[in-house]
Amino acid sequence: MSFKNVDSAQIENLLSNLTLEEKISLLAGKNFWETVDFPEKGVPSVKTSDGPNGARGATFKGGVTAACFPASCLLASTWDLEAAKNIGNALADETRSKGARVILAPTVCPHRHPLGGRNFESFSEDPFLAGKLAAQYIHGLQENGVAATIKHYAVNEQETCRFTVDEHVAERALREIYLKPFEIAIKEAKPLAVMTAYNIVNGTHADSHEFLLKDVLRGQWGWDGLVMSDWGGTNSTADSLNAGLDLEMPGPTRWRKVDEVVAAVKAGAVSEKTIDNRARKVLEFLAKLNCFEDPSIPDERAIILPEHQRLIRSVGSQGIVLLKNDAGILPLKKEGLAKKKVALLGFAREALIHGGGSASVNAHYRVTPEEGLRAALGDTVEFSYAKGAHTFRQLPLMGEGVVNRDGQSGWTLDFFDAEEPNGEPVSSSSSELPTYMPLFVKESWGSLRATGRFTPTQSGNHYLAMSGLGRSKILVDGKVVYEQKENCPDSMAFLLGGVKEPENQYSFEAGTTYTIEIETMKPTGSGGLSLLEGIIGFRLGFMTEKDHNRDLLSEAVEVAKGCDLAIVFTGHTPDWETEGQDQVSFHLPSNGSQDRLVAAVGAVNANTVVVNCTGVAVAMPWLDKVKAVVQAWFPGQEAGNAIADVLTGAANPAGRLPMSFPRKLEDAPAHGNFPGEFVEKDGNRQLHVNYEEGVFVGYRHYDRSEENRSKILFPFGYGLSYTTFTHVNHQARVTGDNSIEVTVDVTNAGTCAGAEVVQVYAGTKLAVPENPVKELVGFAKVHLEPGETKTTSITFNARQLAHFSEQSGTWELQSGDYEVTIGQSVRDITGTVTVGLGAQSYDP
């Protein structure tokens, strides 16, 4: 399946038949997911769907189920281009099953800092690895007839204040690190769409950035697809149109109201030619997707395809990284565990399959680690379970035991025009939901009161926690027990469940009925609310004193004591690792509870294995207290099976880290410049971030000195196997087209089949302080049977060794000797070859 060639005459004929007002209407969405159509003029609509690890469909929470694929951080850990393409192929099937022809993926922004909230849905700290995998992911999508939307262009490396943060980055670092994955993927795979970022780049919003959109994307890179905004990420009328933003999403428009754009045209702020150019891109996009011949938008369907299930399980296991395996405790063999007792602790009964936000889906199903291990090891093993740690970020929604004014389960909602909910309500309704998050109501309402009557079944100082988009209060029997006096500081964190709500204790007596009220106001002023501007929303959580204060740790320790083996499953739920908010801590949540669990279990059980499901590097203060550590990332709906495959040896771990794991947060190269500092600007406080580390991101920083290298817990590219590999006969030669061909003989010297990732790095032999010592320039995944040897060949172009000169505005390759290093990680080098190269200059 391929895209249609654009019939330029057809497009120009359509343009000529549209009025100026109709062309303007095409430049913003019709609704949250679809573009504007004019059936009477022959202009269809197209539907988009969120990604990148599943096609969710139109419903943000719940809705039609969808396949949940491994997160991109895991996909990057496979270092497998074919796997990335296969995932793209399958995601295209899923996208069409949701009536869409466009998926908002992949995310390619580099991992600048371990606390980046959205790192999990991007690939790597290394722009070359990210770009190469993204290119194949895009090929897989688009050869199967679905448009990819590469995002977020550009410099979107944090979630804190993401709508308004101003990120200052020098052009060299911008070119070599932050634009590079986009450049590689766009040039190699030609995605049909690019999505701009929310943030400001060097003083200009990304959606209005002429240098990024005109000069680089469409000029130097020669790309000619559709540029759309992130949802709510349009920040101007004339500037965004002039810079090259074709489509404002979602609809209805906020910035491109027809009368306002017409006025801008009449005033000379925007030309009619510019409107034509923007509308032409929208029409060409529709034509490529065959929308003119087939304008239908089918109903959403849930399709569970066996081939997708197998792919998700296979790729999930391929991307899992074995970080530690003392005394060969892994793999767990069924015969060796016969009649043994195994403790399953932590998240063993929860499948951590994805992060939070637009990458989350209502999965077809979720295989937990316990289910995967029981299926793999059968009844010969006696399993015991304990949770072991409190890991909630927000108290569970309050609903059980609450009735409305009519005595029905739920709440009574009273709406008011005024900013305060006083007097008689203008409108009232009832809700069976425990609370709304957010409550999307007509924007003219000024405030809301939710009332419920609550009869507890236990006595005690129970816990209440609330957050609102605007000023809000909790009242119990008319008494204010908590007040939020300002707007929510982060509206997207509120929407996506990442707001840490202050917990308040209140003494309840079992059997007594209490009236609980939430008063919440429409947000006032401009607080970076974006999509949620003017919307009323609140959330109310509740937990009994008994559940809140239960000693889970002691229970887990007792279970672990009585078992032959303990497997502790740690990680981040979607509430903790989510779009809309950066990580709270480098340590596993909450408040050290998981670290205490691992340390305590390791102290009483000498055979402790940790399986960690996060999309980022985390602190491991307990590393020397456990036998093995497995980094499982977010493996998708087959999580439990993929993890069990690796733990039991059904799959030999072949994942390699796509980012560095520092020992401490302070060791990260962006430390001190993340998430930035607030400065006064035009009477307002604005977050500014200086990318002072320049090009020295990730391993490029740690490679600079032995002191830096000592600060790494696990290096970039690292990963263990159940077999061993050797590299011999390292060679490199310069070919006629100024490429460097590298060959190495790789042997599986162990006793089981496995896959090695051969990594090639290169840099000048004579160190240049302003340049990285070496950078990844090529890689290959090699599958080998025991005793088998294969000659692996990797070719890269000398241009990859050039650095951007801000003085000349070109890429410059220095003349001299270069060291080509071949290894099993950036640290574990098996051989080095020197090649000589002449000076070269390349246009951007």
- Given a cut of 50, whether residue 173 has pLDDT beyond it is yes
Q: At 628, is the secondary structure helix, strand, or coil?
A: strand
More confident residue, 193 or 531: 193
Closest CA to 182 of 108, 120, 279, 280: 108
Residue 414 DSSP symbol: E
Q: At 656, is the secondary structure helix, strand, or coil?
A: coil
- Given a cut of 50, whether residue 437 has pLDDT beyond it is no
What pLDDT is recorded for position 530? 58
Q: With pLDDT > 70 as the criterion, what percentage of the chain qualifies?
A: 97
Say if residues 758 and 822 touch (Cβ distance below 8 Å): yes
- Given a cut of 90, whether residue 443 has pLDDT beyond it is no
Structure tokens given for 687 = 């977050």
What mean pLDDT is reported for the chain? 94
Residue 228 to residues 102, 104, 109, 142, Cα–Cα distance (Å) = 12, 10, 17, 18
Which residue(s) pair with 515 in the sheet?
Answer: 453
Domains of the chain as residue ranges with CATH: 8-288 (3.20.20.300), 323-390+550-652 (3.40.50.1700), 402-548 (2.60.120.260), 723-842 (2.60.40.10)
pLDDT digits 0-9 by tens, 486-524: 888 777 777 776 677 899 999 999 999 999 999 999 887
CA distance 275 to 286: 17
Complete DSSP assignment for 153-197: ETT----TTTTT-EEE--HHHIIIIISHHHHHHHHHH--SEEEE-
Residue 815 to residues 704, 805, 818, 839, Cα–Cα distance (Å) = 22, 15, 9, 4
Mean pLDDT of 308-312: 98
Worst-scoring range by mean pLDDT, 181-195, 466-480, 818-832?
Answer: 466-480
- Given a cut of 70, whether residue 526 has pLDDT beyond it is no
Worst-scoring range by mean pLDDT, 412-416, 527-531, 577-581, 632-636?
Answer: 527-531
Closest CA to 33 of 59, 65, 3: 59
CA distance 238 to 244: 10
Per-residue b or e along 690-707, where b marks 16 or more CB atoms closer than 10 Å to that residue's CB: bbebbbbbbbbbbbbeee
Mean pLDDT of 571-584: 92
What pLDDT is recorded for position 400? 86
CA distance 676 to 158: 10
pLDDT digits 0-9 by tens, 70-81: 999 999 999 999
What pLDDT is recorded for position 438? 47
pTM greater than the 0.85 cutoff: yes
Mean pLDDT of 615-625: 98
Tell me which amino acid residue 254 is: R
- Given a cut of 60, whether residue 441 has pLDDT beyond it is no
CA distance 824 to 830: 7
Residues making up the chain, counted from first to last: 844
CA distance 306 to 670: 43
Q: How many Cβ atoms from other residues are within 10 Å of residue 527's Cβ? A: 19
pLDDT digits 0-9 by tens, 230-284: 999 999 999 999 999 999 999 999 999 999 999 999 999 999 999 999 999 999 9
The set of catalytic residues is 230
CA distance 465 to 482: 8
Say if residues 274 and 241 touch (Cβ distance below 8 Å): yes
Worst-scoring range by mean pLDDT, 573-587, 806-820, 829-843?
Answer: 573-587
Give residue 426's pLDDT band: very low, low, confident or very high (50, 70, 90): confident
Pairing of strands 829-837, 204-205: unpaired
What pLDDT is recorded for position 433? 56
- Given a cut of 70, whether residue 120 has pLDDT beyond it is yes
Mean pLDDT of 214-231: 98
CA distance 488 to 360: 23
Q: Locate all alpha helices (DSSP H) within 575-672, ordered by sequence.
A: 593-604, 639-648
